[in-house]
Amino acid sequence: MAWSDRATAQAAIVAAREAQPAWAAVSIWDRARMLRRIADAVQANRSKLAELLTLEQGKPMAEADFEVGKASDGFNLAADLVKYLEGRTIPTEDTTKRVMTFYRPRGVYGVITPWNFPVNIPVEYLAPGLAAGNALVWTPAPTTALVGAALVAAIETADLPPGVLNFVTGHGPEVGDEIVSNPGTDAIGFTGSAATGRIIARQAAGKAQLMELGGNGPVIVLPDADLDKATAATAAGCFVNAGQVCSSSERVLVHADVYDEFAERITEAARDIVLGDPRIAATTMGPLNNPAVAAKVAEHVTDAVDRGAVAAIGGAAPADNPSGLYYQPTVLREVPRDSLVNREETFGPVAPLIRVKDEEEAIEVARANRYGLVSSIFTRDLDTAFRFVDAVPTGIVNVNDTSNYWELHIPFGGISGKDSGVGRIGGRYSLEAMCDLKTATFTIG
């Protein structure tokens, strides 16, 4: 695939600006019909997209197929919800006034997406963006640009008007920078790392920004937890997509009363994982996506062990690892609070178990972190659950389920004051974020 340059990105923005007014003038019902055609096109290409997704990203075929199916669902969801994106009439003190609000597209939306879910995460922006009447300029992560191109090819079969969706490949410092900083883009949507998010926030100053950034759990397991449920859910949170999920169970805070039993259970769950070629049906975990991620995972595990943690299982790359991208499912016991796996986003197949003596310490450790995306709490007590929901500073708190639990219509994003993003994606919340709220006042009599 040929990489685009800054000039290509500029041309794409011009095309979007020219196409957007006509697209915004299309009735909402007709836009919804277009989105349904796109959903059908994605579904018709499901097998091809899933196969390419596995080859390029590295996740097992079952996970890839699930992701493509959710991408098709995302277009249908936006088609449903945009019809009910209703404004309000507002009472006024002045009896001669009538005031109403309604939603209008922002204009040209720049979208930058990552490699861990390279089909569904783009759709989290593309579907509501198109439904709302925006024109889009989208650049994917370079390591998964091929499946991005295949997704656009499928979308093109639905006869979307030219210029409404513009796909530009290339590297962030050139193509991404142009999309973010060019005055021709009115708003920016980004999913990725907190470090890149900070750069984009500066470059896009003054533009509307919708950003879903990094996470670091935590998962909290209390003495009254159903350990069967907690183990299965936490293992899924640690090892699905080889841990390369922003909502992964990146650190696991376990009460001392159940620490040893939980550690044994999750070690056995890790032992059951089949690491291997993601194209083989028996494989349940594939490689990491790129060398930088593999190096980071190794660095974090080594740091934890050097500080006193013990690898109950894994803790290294497998012996047969010619690509250098495979890493064993790993459980770390007695992880100290000053280790990188507790303080940073590891983004790999690691379950770092931190022992806490009581609920107060669990809350203290949970709060002492710069991320604030998703957390989980396992307890049978409703009062305790609500206390943790209030106390833990994350945008989502899942009670008695994996940190990865989410559905397409549920608001997803980070808490204020943390490094996990701005705004909410998901369902109606994405639509609202990708629109301007306009107010009209009328004088009568």
Q: Does domain 6-213+421-443 have CATH number 3.40.605.10?
A: yes
What CATH superfamily is the domain 219-399? Aldehyde Dehydrogenase; Chain A, domain 2 (3.40.309.10)
**pLDDT of res. 436:** 98
The residue with tokens 């409703």 is: 382
Q: Which of 228, 233, 189 is nearest to 209 (CA)?
A: 189
Q: What are the Cα distances from residue 45, in Å, to 49, 271, 295? A: 6, 35, 34
The catalytic site residues sit at: 212, 246
**374-378 vs 350-356, strand pairing mode:** unpaired
The values of phi and psi at residue 395, to 5°, are -65, -30
**pLDDT of res. 145:** 98
CA pair distance 56, 306, nearest whole angstrom: 34
CA pair distance 113, 125, nearest whole angstrom: 9
**CB-CB neighbours of 114 under 10 Å:** 21
CA pair distance 445, 436, nearest whole angstrom: 30
Whether 354 contacts 223, CB under 8 Å = no
Q: Which DSSP category does 229 fall into?
A: H
Longest dimension (CA), the chain: 83
CA pair distance 410, 161, nearest whole angstrom: 30
Residue 218 token pair: 């935590």
Q: Which of 26, 7, 249 is nearest to 135 (CA)?
A: 26
Q: How many residues does the chain have?
A: 445
The span from the first CA to the last CA of the chain, in angstroms, equals 64
Residue 136 token pair: 């889009």
Residue 117 token pair: 């879910």
Residue 68 token pair: 């493509």
pLDDT one-digit tens code per residue, 73-105: 999 999 999 999 999 999 999 999 999 999 999
The values of phi and psi at residue 371, to 5°, are -100, 155
The values of phi and psi at residue 383, to 5°, are -60, -45
pLDDT one-digit tens code per residue, 6-38: 999 999 999 999 999 999 999 999 999 999 999
CA pair distance 334, 191, nearest whole angstrom: 32
Domain boundaries, the chain: 6-213+421-443, 219-399
The residue with tokens 């002045």 is: 94
**pLDDT of res. 1:** 64
**pLDDT of res. 445:** 82
Give me the residues of the chain with pLDDT under 50, please: none
